[in-house]
Structure 1
Amino acid sequence: MEGIVVRRVIPSDNSCLFNAVGYAMDHDKNKAYELRQVIAGTVASDPEKYNEAFLGKPNGEYCNWIRDSEKWGGAIELSILADYYGREIAAYDIQTMRCDLYGQDRKYSERAMLIYDGLHYDALAMSPFEGAPEEFDQTIFAVQKDRTIGPVEGHALNLVKEQQRKRSYTDTANFTLRCGVCQIGVIGQKEAVEHAQTTGHVNFQEYR
């Protein structure tokens, strides 16, 4: 397919990972509730695999935690969702330009792509031309014999490089944020999370 790889922006509502996966897999940006249930169900069904050492908290506690729409997902959730959909999930990190591939060991025949800026996940899609409507997006790509997705992979990496050049990422240890609700300044992800937990405010803007 000829076209360009584009970044499809997912709302910043603490469920961006789930909704980005939902868009990449199902063209649906409102899958967070459903996918959180899927993850909780998967984890609850296999307490030996998903033990406290693996999850960082007891199995039951994790299941309640991941169902909470305020909680963020990460690597554990992506690996479970790759298996749920039976497709690889490639997550490109803008700051490091690293690509983490989930479900790789299963030799799935298709792959979807996400992009991560240190705080937020968006979906990557192949669009026939700049500005084309989202219904024309291709978000699932066949994995070739060499375990790449062909030229699309190069296009995706170029997009990530371009975003990195524009510094479209957040250095989560040292960035400064201002709360969009009460205008208080915080430094780093830890302080932002603490502020969000104390106040319920989740609308942060980066400022320098």
Structure 2
Amino acid sequence: MDRIGKRRYTARGVMFFSLLLAAAWMLASCVVAENKILLQRHLYKPEIPKDVTSFYSGKTIDLNDFVNNDQKTKRYAYFSTDAKTAYEVSVPLDYFVMDCFRDAMWMAGMQVAHDSPISTIPDLKLIIDRWTDEEFDFSIRIERNGVLKYKNQYKIKTALVSDPKDFANREKNAYTTINQAVVAVLKDPGVKAAFK
């Protein structure tokens, strides 16, 4: 404003240009996929082998921190390797994975806590390292009484679909990949040892 209290036109122009530049930057950072596959938490049906359920039945676990560290994903989606297909979920990806692990652990007969104050319960932390339609890489840490008992990294390969437009099979493969991740963790001898 000048001394009389009237707004100068240059100040308005600078503000408008700044807003326009900010909007262009936000749009440029968005990944726009040609196709979307919607994944729903309630459609994931855990398939846990009987030898796994017999070991974990009656045991308690605390699912505390599930974190997404993959910079190539968005908060609610991960992408195919060519970025043409987005796998979208209705909650953040880390919550989606936590919910799937929780449902599978319930299916295995476990009691699942969240942020339990009881330190003797094994506390599972999971970090998503990389997630595409071809591979799901993640790390886990299990702590008990505040002490690290076990940590490991996993690479789960997703079965390839011959027809890239076969979205029904691609969706099915996404749920299968999550199930393979859960089973890989539960079958891991180091994870089993953390419960003894």
State the TM-score, normalizing by the size of structure 1: 0.21
What is the TM-score of this pair, normalised by structure 2?
A: 0.22
Larger Rg: 2
